[in-house]
Chains A and B, each alone.
Chain A
Amino acid sequence: MQRAVSARGSLRARGLFSPWFGDRVFRWTTLLFAACVLAIIALLAYLLLADSVPAMRAFSWRFLSGHSWDPVHDSFGALPFIYGTLVSSALALLVAVPISLGAALFLAELAPPWLRNPLSFLVELLAAVPSVVYGIWGIFVLVPFLRPVEAWLGTRLGFVPLFSGAPYGIGMMAAGLILAIMVLPIIAAVSRDVLRAVPVSQREAAYALGATRWEAIRGPVFRYARAGILGAVILGLGRALGETMAVTMVIGNTPAISASIFDPAYTMPSVLANEFMEATGKLHIAALMEIALLLFIVTIVINAIARLLIWSVARGAPAGVRE
């Protein structure tokens, strides 16, 4: 080490006994640990890619459009899982986005100061409840509650394919609602931070023109924050796509594509959780690996977009203007 170091600079200043030698060790040690993050991501991508090669060879693009999932005959198509993941996440966002934006607005702008911190803390606790606890609550509370609701909707709106199907309780609707509860605190917390990063001057300019509070928010504040809020929503979408346990417990785990949101379905994370340990066939494992790879790529892209959007608002703001 000493030789390598002294070869590059003067012996006296950079030797082992120099007081700055420790600083160099410090810098490179911490760098090494920080770089572990890159190593993990790279290894993750490599392993998923390498292990899914057999499935890619066997099915190529048909893997994405195939309907049948049959481990016995080694025939694998991931479309039902992709469909289930997308639809359950879309349902979740449909429910969660308006509520969480309203909540973020309240927490960032409207709530009286004494209420702000306790409410924010409650929303954070909502994010802290483990997925599996939402799952057990979903099975024993939400699903029995949904059965009569679905039956009622079915008799009133049964002519729409969306609400046809038998009211099992378990199925896409339950999964969408559980996901909505789980992504709500994420979207609310991030958009609250984004709203707070909007410079006070934006608001004051609107007030000076005679705007009411809501008018100031609707116009300048939302316009300034909209990229960041979109980022928050996309971040929530990323969470919904990858959520495993709670969805697995309420969605019914049936690889079928149905127009009705009452019917059981299956998602990509759920099939990984259910089948990965039982998979013995080489092709079966490779097919599951390819699903994991898809999930990984999608969540990476989504998170990257979300972070860039959020950074564009929350980091671009001048320091010291937070409310």
Chain B
Amino acid sequence: MSALAPIRPGLRHLRRKAANSTMWLVAGLCVLAAILPLGLVLYYVLAQGASGINLDFFTKLPKPVGEPGGGMANAIVGSLILVGLASLVGLPIGILGGIYLAEFGNSRFAWTIRFFADVLSGVPSIVVGIFIWAMVVVPTHRLSGMAGGAALGVMMIPTVMRTTEELVRLVPLSLREASLSLGATHWRTVFKVVLVAARGGVVTGVLLAVSRIAGEAAPLLLTAGSSPFWSTRIDQPMPSLPVQIFTYAIQPYDDWHRQAWAAALVLVSLVFVLSVAARYATRGRFRMLR
């Protein structure tokens, strides 16, 4: 080793440096390969969808097969109602449950809940749809906006719960101690001090959850169904953008394809705005954990 020291370590050094740079390059290419599909999807959604976006799309009802024109006004309103209903189910459970995990989270019971919240987030959306079908649709004998909202609400719970927990935990201890030392009870401290400090984080969780469920079609097929008419009654079938995209995309009519692309554009824009807003809500307040 010592006799050859000036030469062989040099070669080996070069080889090791080359391996290092190669892996750097490969990893960089992997990132590009990962992001490429995003670019392709966005490009096509924009290119194909833009031509279908006009006033009619937002204000008219769908036309029967064969008649050109019409829009998706009812599906847009339906999606908004469904997300609202889902929030009624998902937000109380998610936020209060998240507060429980953050405040009393060291028991075995809390770990069980945490674990099953993670498991629930992994349950396929179609299975959640079947669950709500058996829970709500079977007893009431009809597809309804109510059932759709319940299905989406169940899907919101894990995201809202875990984000609320993480962000409530990040509130500095000194803030709580200040409140408690002034004689405030625990629950007043949580609602008047901790939650106020963590509101950005809670908003982030809510926005992330909404952006996740706003594009869900699978559970809605079995719960909310669809309808070509205005539907604002929650005990009736309710159309939604994702279901409409699915129905239109798998039919062989060019005009429907155009509208499906336009709806996809609307949906993607909505989801992206929500994602960006979710990032913005916690910016500078606390560092997000991820």
Contacts and interface: CB of A to CB of B under 8 A. Distances in A.
Given A103-B27, A137-B41, A244 B125 contact: yes
Interface stretch (B57-65, B170-178, B256-264): B256-264
Given A33-B93, A249-B250, A132 B116 contact: no
Contact of A212 (B19, B28, B103, B212): B19
Nearest to A185: B34
A106 B34 CA distance: 11
B31 A107 contact: yes
Contacts of A288: 130
A33 B96 contact: yes
B45 to A, nearest CB: 7
B33 interface: yes
A22 B187 contact: yes
Interface in B76-129: 92-93, 96-97, 99-101, 103-104, 109-110, 112-113, 115-128
Contacts of B163: none
A188 B24 contact: no
Contact of A136 (B113, B121, B249): B249
Interface residues of B, number: 89
A29 B188 CA distance: 14
A300 B123 contact: yes
Interface stretch (A69-77, A93-101, A147-155): A93-101
A88 B221 CA distance: 23
Given A33-B100, A48-B131, 12 more contacts: A111-B31, A121-B279, A122-B38, A129-B38, A129-B268, A132-B264, A214-B19, A242-B124, A269-B124, A272-B127, A299-B124, A303-B122
Interface of B: 16-17, 19-20, 23-24, 26-31, 33-35, 37-38, 40-41, 44-45, 48, 92-93, 96-97, 99-101, 103-104, 109-110, 112-113, 115-128, 130-131, 133-135, 154, 157-158, 161, 185-188, 190, 211-212, 214-218, 221-222, 225, 242, 245-246, 249-250, 257, 260-261, 264, 267-268, 271-272, 275, 279, 290
26 contacts: A22-B188, A26-B186, A26-B190, A27-B100, A34-B101, A37-B116, A48-B127, A103-B33, A105-B23, A110-B24, A119-B31, A119-B35, A128-B211, A128-B212, A130-B216, A132-B242, A132-B246, A137-B45, A213-B20, A242-B122, A242-B125, A242-B126, A245-B242, A299-B123, A299-B124, A304-B115
